Amino acid sequence: MQLLDAINDQSKKRSCELVYRGFLLPNTNVATPSLGAKVIAGQFPSALLNSSELHARDNDRTFTRHTICATGSGTADTGIVVELGRLFHLNHIKLVLLERDQSSYSYYVEVSVDQRDWLRIVDHTHYHCRSRQMLYFGGRAVRFIRVVGTQPQRLSPLFTLVCLEAMYSTEAPQFEIDPESTLLIPRHNVATLPNNAVVVIVSG
């Protein structure tokens, strides 16, 4: 009986994947108000899709954020959620994290077509991340994107995003994706200023 249930579950998953066909706009950011995207969860929702990476160090701007859960785990009503204007086929999301005082964050990203079933495509809950986050995953249909901070840094309970972009990229990335950690393994030097590298001096 358990075997039949397992086969039935797998069949349902495959059928769902076949049903959902996202609209394809290659190399175009679809997380924009002009294409119907909007932020439906998070504080100061209007800021996220109307900002850019150039604003990351702007102390006078208000950015989209959410309060990090005390347990470090997200629930259905936490995080920052973006609803796209329609079902799009995606394989790439770019995040820009707030850069004040060399702050860093831990987080995960989930996607959904209906806000009922969520798939975690990036899990950086065990890492300290900062600045620009270039995230790649297997192409799939997406309507909702949820980003959840899981570890407060520098005593701040807030997870803050400067901007978010989502697209289907046809350009082959210069790195491989570690299937276990979802981290990117670069094939070239990434310790450069264009890649937002910084020197951090740790005192003994």
pLDDT digits (tens, 9 = 90+) for 155-176: 678 899 999 999 999 986 666 6
Cα separation, 13 vs 91, whole angstroms: 19
Q: 20-186: CATH homologous superfamily?
A: Galactose-binding domain-like (2.60.120.260)
106 with 128: CB under 8 angstroms? yes
Question: Domain segments of the chain: what residues?
Answer: 20-186
CA-to-CA separations, 165 to 15, 29, 132, 203, in angstroms, rounded: 29, 6, 11, 36
106 with 151: CB under 8 angstroms? yes
What tokens were used for 121? 């495509």
Rounded mean pLDDT of the chain? 78
Cα separation, 129 vs 105, whole angstroms: 5
**What pLDDT score was predicted for residue 79?**
94
What tokens were used for 28? 């175009």
148: closest CA among 201, 188, 111? 111
59 with 113: CB under 8 angstroms? no
Provide the pLDDT confidence category of residue 130 given band limits of 50, 70 and 90.
Answer: confident
- Give the DSSP H/E element, type plus range, for residue 14: helix 2-19
**Beta-bridge partner residues of 66:** 159
Report DSSP state, residue 13: H
Q: Is the pLDDT of residue 190 over 50?
A: no
Cα separation, 47 vs 92, whole angstroms: 21
> 58-72, 96-110, 145-159: which range is least confident on average?
58-72
Rg (the chain; Cα; Å): 18
CA-to-CA separations, 8 to 16, 19, 114, 140, in angstroms, rounded: 12, 16, 21, 22
Q: Is the pLDDT of residue 150 over 50?
A: yes
57-73 burial by CB neighbour count: b if 16+ within 10 A, else e? Answer: eeeeeebbbbebbeeee
